[in-house]
Amino acid sequence: MNIQYFEQEKLFKLDTPKTSYVFGIAGKRGYLVHLYYGPRLDSLQGIWDLARVGENPALADANTKDELSYVDCMPVEYSTDGLGDFRESSICVQDEGGHRALDCGYVSHEILRGKEKLPGLPATFGTEEEVSSLIVTCKDPDNGVVLRLKYSAFQDVDVITRSVEVINEGEGSVYLKKAMSLSLDMDNREFDAITLHGSWGREKHILRRKLELGSYRTEGKKGGNCHQAHPFLAVLSHNADETSGEVYGFSFVYSGNFLAQAEVSQFNSLRVVMGIHPEQFSWKMSTGESFHTPEVVMTYSAEGLGQMTRNFHDVYRSHLMRSPYLHTKRPVLINNWEGTYFDFDEKKILNIAKSARSLGIEMLVLDDGWFGNRFDDNRALGDWYVNTEKLKGGLEYLVSEINKLGMKFGLWFEPEMVCPDSDLYRAHPDWAIQIPGRVGRRARNQYVLDISRKEVRDAIMEQVFKVLHSANIEYVKWDMNRPLSDLGSFALESDRQGELYHRYVLGLYEMQEALLQEFPNLLLENCSSGGGRFDPGMLYFSPQIWTSDDTDAIERLSIQEGTALIYPLSSMGAHVSVCPNHIVGRVTPLSTRGNVALTGTFGYELDTTKFGEEEITIVPRQIEVYHRFNDIIREGDYYRIASYQKNKEYDCYQVNTKKKDKALVFFTQVLNEANQKSRIVKLQGLKPEAAYRLYQVTVEDEEIVKDTGKLLSGQVVMQGGISIDRPWGDFKSLLYYLEETID
């Protein structure tokens, strides 16, 4: 087992293949003190010195005159509130008298094989052979609050997960005002922080800044639809890059409000906290009740950001995503949204399907506008029945005709929303989230349904199930197009209104789990106005998430780079769209649009009946490339070679098979320059001793995979690089394939 407790030294040690995590029990009160997280340790001799318990101020016990001094600098394992630690706390508990203080000491621990499920929450999983877990129980004897600190360490990937269960064993009710999932203290070693930021249409741009005295935070407070920030934080040595340097990565398995903060204290120590955002959060706990925080996935890399990325990719592919589609090629789909918007009928959709099928496209997805009185975005959300005025014969006829073409069929829903102009709202206006006496603010002319209420969840899912049972619907796109505001629920008592945000997310998880239980072979894709809800919690339910509504290939370079920093390429919804692009107006070559979309699930977002000769020729070749190389992209190791976000000229990344015998190199020249030489790019992750044959993959010639005649040493291409000729023009993309040669 890769978790040990050393009784004499009072030390816990958690090991992954290349890392160790160590903390101990100190003092008469049994404080949990964090000691080490980094490269794997074989011996713990002298590790208690890292706690500085003998220095001034020293670890205080009950009989000392100054109990505060050490508390404010002690590297605690889970920071509490109200008793002298003035750094960011991880938990705040208020009693019935309005007081807030928590002083928890060690009581017991349990080491077990496997991993507990988190009730109602998505979380990583593993067999008894793949993961071991540690549960440390601490208690405040004065108010009866118990903390069960949960850790799991994986055997096959350098990842440790953390979460907390809070239990009220006191006599009266208490109110959780804050409940972080992770707290980590360590010395500040000239760290930088990386977070992901953006807005609608430009999600997950990478931001790196130096950590200095004070706090740096990234946060989401929109209830689940948040393009501006992301539940991820990395702290890394100032000199760390893709291939070298220390990196600590933290990813939050949650789809609601979040806070991730790095704080440098007066003593130049660093505290990282991550969890549910405390703003507008409160949770009432009566005697005997408990609260489970969502899970944080953390990883350490001594080999730069690239290894952090591959650790996250591996753990999410193997221990979070559950879909039967996970390790299979997804059908190449066409979504009609940018091709038709609301202007369609069954004839137009069938014509698109017929032309798409002739090109090799395998699934048609019918987007917004097929239901109720939905002729624009001002009405009918919540009325999930087929609009037979648009679709004569209903879905049964349409799907049957599309299936006859040899195509699959998918459908768009937005189950969490309701329009004021809808049958549902007229019947149940109290089902919308709202503050009594106030007129709620609309976004996209819609309100948010209070899915914290079981009767609301059941009514919506009953409609959705009826539609999905009516025809052979094999894919669902679950959208969510506005944030939460005007927080109020008619179903919650006044002292429980602060629970609404979290109960909403729990309701969402219950709905999606019910959907998958009812339709276990369904391909589910989550979406929130693009990438507003691209998070690990959603990956637990859907193997792919729509990355952004911005499908422009050049904009997607930065969006997909930031997304791929954490998430497997197979999870990124990526489509080829029409030019000029509908959002930015850019004209980009079809081959470039195809290459960028290959780094994802791959599909099309346009009207195939309007294709010219170029599209009719190239699209089948793009689909052929997808089928030939998707196994590498879906299952392989991702390496970032160059970043357009940084250099503003070109973008380059690489995907290798796990065996390192094959690789794809994607190169996009954004802006060309006059009188410049070819670019030399250093590849990564190959076998130094192997020889590789180099091929160019092109959809603009009849021969799609062309042998360049070059045989390259793995050592040479990694230490020296390969030469890539500059394409003539802007926005040009090249794709190379390397295959090991066996003598």
By annotation, the residues acting in catalysis are 479, 549
Distance CA 280, CA 499 (A): 8
**String of DSSP letters for 67-116:** SSTTTTT--BSS--SSSS--S--SEEEE-TTS-B----EEEEEEEEES-P
Q: Give strand pairing partners of 152.
A: 133, 161
DSSP state of 489: -
Cα gap 587→577, rounded to integer Å:
11
Pairing mode, strands 363-366 and 637-642: unpaired
For the record, the structure tokens of 281 come out as 């959060």
Tell which residue, 475, 482, 537, has the closest CA to residue 508: 537
Evaluate whether 85 touches 76 at the Cβ level (below 8 Å). yes
Query: From its phi and psi, is residue 707 left (phi > 0), alpha (psi between -120 and 50) or beta?
Result: beta
Contacts of 57 (CB under 8 A, 6+ apart): 66, 69, 70, 73
| Cα 250 to Cα 299: distance, rounded to the nearest angstrom | 7
Type of residue found at 701: D
CA–CA distances in Å: residue 596 to residues 550, 559, 589: 13, 11, 11
Tell me how far the alpha carbon of residue 503 is from its chain's centroid: 20
Question: How many whole angstroms separate alpha carbon 69 and alpha carbon 91?
Answer: 20
- Output the six-digit token pair for 386: 């087929």
CA torsion sign for 377, 231, 203, 597 is negative
Measured N-to-C along each axis, helices 394-404 and 346-359 cross at an angle, to the nearest 10 degrees, of 20
**From residue 174, how far is each of 151, 205, 286 by CA, in Å?**
25, 40, 7
Q: How far apart are CA 473 and CA 265, in angstroms?
A: 55
Distance (Å, rounded) from C-alpha 246 to C-alpha 38? 9
The beta-strand segments (E) located in 348-405 are 363-366
Name the H helices within 600-713. Answer: 613-635, 644-647
Structure tokens at 737: 């394939």
Please give the Cα distance from 743 to 738 (Å, whole number).
Answer: 16
Q: For residues 599 and 666, is the Cβ–Cβ distance under 8 A?
A: yes
Q: What are phi and psi of 503, to 5 degrees?
A: -65, -30
